[in-house]
Amino acid sequence: MIYLRLFLEFFKTGLFSIGGGLATLPFLYEMSDKTHWFTHADIADMIAVSESTPGAIGINMSTFAGYITGGVPGGIIASLGLAAPCIIIILIISKILDIFRSNPYVDRAFYGLRPASVAMISAAGINVVRIALVRLSALENGPDLLRFFNWPAIVLAAAIFIAQKKLKWHPVIFIALSAAVGIVFHFGSL
Amino acid sequence: MNELKELYLAFVRIGAVTFGGGYAMLPILERDLVDKRGWTTTEDLMDYFAIGQCTPGIIALNVSTFIGHKRKGTAGALAATIGFLTCPILIILIISAFLTNFADLAVVKDAFAGIRVCVCVLILQAVLKLWKKAIPDKTALALYLVIFLVTVFSSLLLFRVPAAVLVIAAGVFGVLFRTAKEGNKA
């Protein structure tokens, strides 16, 4: 029963990949060796696709692997398998939090958790900046600051930042506009 | 039933635009769920993100489950999470079926190089917005700096510290520090 196997294999991946996103990769490579549902090259391709679509790599890989092994139902079942452990665990935590939310110790834990949360978000931001706004390759032959900064991208970022403050449009509008600017000015080859 | 449908549809929209690993979704969640619908608060979102770091699965998915549960219990959690997954699954099914070279297309590369710039700004806005609420004093600032530096420079350290370990350590620190401080006052 291919659907059941797809569900179970991706359920296991979902259960053990803590921290999401790229944490699923080692499990995907292992699954590729074991099941031959997809190749290592497929995983590399899916990393690229995941950078260009809204979904996370794990969900994308499960949809892709499910689709090539079991068609459209396979794609859906594999993705639900990946998401299921996450949903179950968060439901349990939610119910526990409901009970203990007024406990002073929970409150104190959040005093430490909140700066940690913002620190992780900042670090994720640095990772995107490294790809989107600067070129680390410019530092290889001595510092070349003119080439280090991706000036058109920085101008776009500043424009979005200011426009967002002044206009208060929905963030989705800025995402769409940035895509358009990227296409018109060929940001992919800057 | 109507409320479940509303939850589902709200998360279909969010799932369609969550580029860049979940963090860029914060300003969108703020706008759609905190400001417009009043379904959750900025503080709660921050807590969900912290917990999402130490549980399995993608953070965006965890946050959907949390908010859905808060609104409508288990059914709400399922509606929100499946809503969040709908667009990514559809997109990959379409790409798998028709566009095997999707990621190599020049127009796709250009568009997403543009979107990544926007994601930088969205994340910066998320950080600025959360800053005051998350970092009320110098101790919290020190904690922020330590975790930020360890995460950013993790590739330079002797061994990689998993995010979950950092988050759990921060929670334990919070309990110990606040308990000691409040104990002194009493």
Reduce the DSSP state of residue A18 to 3 states and report it: strand
> Any chain B CB within 8 A of the CB of A157?
yes
* Residue A44: Cβ-neighbour burial (10 angstroms; 0-12, 13-18, 19+): exposed
List alpha helices for B17-57, DSSP H.
25-29, 42-53
Percent of chain B with pLDDT over 90: 32
Predicted local confidence at residue A41, as pLDDT? 80
Distance CA A29, CA A31 (A): 5
Mean pLDDT by 10 residues, chain A (190 residues): 91 74 74 87 76 72 86 93 90 88 85 87 82 80 78 93 89 89 87
Cβ pairs A/B, distance under 8 A: 351
Name the one residue in this structure whose structure tokens are 């190089």: B113
Q: Are the Cβ atoms of B134 and A115 closer than 8 angstroms?
A: yes
Task: Judge whether B94 and A54 are in contact, CB under 8 Å.
Answer: no
Predicted local confidence at residue A51, as pLDDT? 67
Predicted local confidence at residue A78, as pLDDT? 93
ipTM: 0.80
Each domain of chain B, given as residue ranges in start order, spans 2-133, 135-186
Predicted confidence band at B109 (pLDDT cuts at 50, 70, 90)?
Answer: confident
| Higher per-residue pLDDT: B70 or B98 | B70
Each domain of chain A, given as residue ranges in start order, spans 2-100, 104-189
Would you give the DSSP letter of residue A185? T
Chain B, residues 20-39, CB within 8 A of chain A, namely 20-23, 26-28, 31
Predicted confidence band at B20 (pLDDT cuts at 50, 70, 90)?
Answer: low
Predicted local confidence at residue B184, as pLDDT? 64
Reduce the DSSP state of residue B56 to 3 states and report it: strand
Predicted local confidence at residue A7, as pLDDT? 94
Single-letter residue type at B53 = Q
Q: What is the mean pLDDT of residues B131-157?
A: 88
> Any chain B CB within 8 A of the CB of A54?
yes
Predicted local confidence at residue B106, as pLDDT? 86
Task: Judge whether B94 and B24 are in contact, CB under 8 Å.
Answer: no
> Any chain A CB within 8 A of the CB of B15?
yes
Predicted local confidence at residue A91, as pLDDT? 92
Q: Are the Cβ atoms of A63 and B19 closer than 8 angstroms?
A: no
Chain centroid to Cα A143, Å, comes to 31
Closest residue in B to A150 (Cα) is B117
Predicted local confidence at residue B47, as pLDDT? 86
Predicted local confidence at residue A26, as pLDDT? 76
The CB density around residue B74, as the number of other CB atoms within 10 Å, is: 14
| Higher per-residue pLDDT: A181 or B97 | A181
Predicted local confidence at residue B29, as pLDDT? 86
Task: Judge whether A40 and A113 are in contact, CB under 8 Å.
Answer: no
Predicted local confidence at residue B185, as pLDDT? 58
> Any chain B CB within 8 A of the CB of A110?
yes
User: Chain A contacts of B125, Cβ < 8 Å?
Assistant: 161, 164
> Any chain B CB within 8 A of the CB of A96?
no
Predicted local confidence at residue A49, as pLDDT? 74
Predicted local confidence at residue A134, as pLDDT? 86
Q: What digits encode the pLDDT tens for the residues B31-58?
A: 888 989 899 898 888 888 888 877 777 7
Q: Are the Cβ atoms of B130 and A117 closer than 8 angstroms?
A: yes
Reduce the DSSP state of residue B58 to 3 states and report it: coil
The closest CB to that of A186, out of B110, B120, B141, belongs to: B110
| Higher per-residue pLDDT: B180 or B50 | B180
pLDDT at B162 over 80: no
Distance CA B126, CA A162 (A): 15
| Mean pLDDT, all residues of chain B | 85
Q: How many CA atoms lie within 13 A of A24 on its CB side?
A: 32
| Higher per-residue pLDDT: B23 or B174 | B174
Predicted local confidence at residue A127, as pLDDT? 77
Q: What is the mean pLDDT of residues B110-115?
A: 87
